[in-house]
């Protein structure tokens, strides 16, 4: 009788549990728009890099081959200056803490490079499937001084 009761309790607990996905988010979906600081006009073709590409490995160890293979291709802004960086996930049997901050680099000929970062504190909403969404808003690039 005790075995039967223990089996029923274990089965009820398992049925009531929600499983965690094996691929936690390591970077949010980021949307935004890049504008010229002097004219407030949208800038098309701005290169937007994230993660290790944005940090540039300044003063640190050069990237390893696997890191280069895993690096995502830079994104370019459209004619309205808008960009979208897709969410990043990793497959892991052990659930980590996810992501805390992501670094971005914006580059455009004739404009100063702009480097910034966003953290989980900047995320205002999640999609219904739990995907973190981050609206970077308007990013202003300043023309290069002559």
Which of 71, 72, 98 lies closest to 85, judged by CA? Answer: 72
pLDDT in tens, 32-81: 999 999 999 999 999 998 865 555 555 566 767 776 666 677 899 999 99
Ramachandran angles phi, psi of 47, nearest 5°: -85, 125
pLDDT of residue 79: 95
pLDDT in tens, 104-118: 899 999 999 999 887
Cα gap 114→44, rounded to integer Å: 15
pLDDT in tens, 27-44: 778 889 999 999 999 999
CA 74 to chain centre: 12
Mean per-residue pLDDT over the chain, rounded: 76
Residue 50 class from Cβ within 10 Å (0-12 exposed, 13-18 middle, 19+ buried)?
Answer: buried
* Cβ contact 93:79 at 8 Å: no
Q: What is the pTM of this model?
A: 0.68
What is the percent of the chain where pLDDT is above 70?
57
Query: Hey, which residues does 27 pair with through a beta bridge?
Result: 88
What is the percent of the chain where pLDDT is above 90?
29
List the structure tokens of 82.
């808008």
In the chain, beta strands by DSSP E: 25-27, 29-36, 47-50, 75-76, 82-85, 88-89, 101-107, 114-119, 125-126, 132-141
């Amino acid at each position: 009788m005790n075995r039967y009761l223990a089996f029923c309790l274990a089965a009820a607990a398992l049925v009531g549990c929600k499983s965690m996905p094996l691929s936690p988010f390591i970077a949010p979906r980021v949307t935004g728009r890049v504008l010229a600081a002097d004219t407030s006009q949208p800038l098309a073709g701005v290169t937007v890099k994230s993660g290790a590409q944005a940090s540039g490995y300044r003063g640190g160890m050069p990237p390893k081959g696997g890191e280069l293979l895993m690096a995502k291709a830079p994104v370019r802004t459209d004619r309205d200056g808008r960009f979208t960086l897709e969410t990043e996930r990793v497959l892991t049997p052990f659930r980590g803490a996810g992501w805390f901050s992501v670094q971005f680099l914006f580059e455009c000929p004739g404009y100063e490079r702009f480097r910034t970062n966003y953290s989980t504190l900047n995320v205002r909403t999640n999609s219904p499937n739990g995907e973190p969404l981050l609206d970077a808003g308007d990013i202003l690039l300043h023309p290069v001084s002559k």
